[in-house]
Chain A
């Protein structure tokens, strides 16, 4: 167990730093995907028209290719892509893109349509009567969205959102192939130089299983709070 010690003798600190990268990556990518997914859900609410068609094409691409490929694309080509996006605004710069942010953007790109699909479905499942009631009370549109529709839709979509979180968390494991020193990369280095692959990869497996379980517990507790007053009879 000395191998897991903190400091120069063990690999505890390296693993911890790697785990921290993994967690940050997952959290940032998920947060970005949630924001973009919400926007996409609202923009593609009606199943027809240009916006919807564009949304479908995007979803088909994002769900049809591996996320690692997108990570590579943004990592190698991110500078050029940002440059091309900035030129129309008269900015001629080539910012360098770090692997970390390339990975965040790539994972967000891939998972946005999944979250958007969930949320769109949930919005359609919010009872129509409430909308009409709000409109009858002449609540402004923006307030209907922010105060009535989205909170309830989020509650309905919540379990799906939690599931996507778990999948995204596991998908972050691929970023080590793009050169990020996340938990996997740290474990690989450690097991390579100590010849103890079972120990270090075992730690990684335990981390992923436990971290997913812990976040799910947290989410479930939060879900119960969201549900308060909605289904008082049920647990």
Chain B
């Protein structure tokens, strides 16, 4: 568990130390349906976590609660020490710390690639257009798409669009990145270009929480794999154990189905 090394710190340090994300007893319901049933999860700074689980298990809901796109009904979420209470205060502070990448890219269709990347820094951080553009070009170069800056999203392939979406999030200098199935809407030949960018990001020390079923990525990158089923965390372990020696029956069944 990621919390283990905390015991080495002195009391003072422990008070100062806050995890990147601390979720306790998180509950969320849609009407009568309980989608998250008491999820407790801590993500340490710099930690990379892969979240997986069957369709409808609540992965997207969990991710979306973390940056306030969904309001939770119970439990607590703290991001970098900022509490995100159920009535939505703290949301804006949290969102500036947390970048999010969606399954369907969600680029702004009416803006060029560059404008997509400069929009939030200019309006949420108050950067000058020149400063924002400079920052955008830096991150676009990082995801190897700087040469397309003048194009519109619809003129790019899915893989390219997803890399732009990553760059757009990075332009806000987030401390944490959330990914919700970033490669599952892509044609197979484009998956690797996006995964590669994500791996580089991980190597540079970004805190990452990824919903993905890319096992290669999980093995390479994840410090911890978390299995969510029916709104509960059923099992979590390092990647090696997670795939090779799953303890619970439900995870075994899930992995069997995935590998088939």
Touch test A–B (CB under 8 Å): no
Residue ranges of B at the interface with A (Cβ–Cβ < 8 Å): none
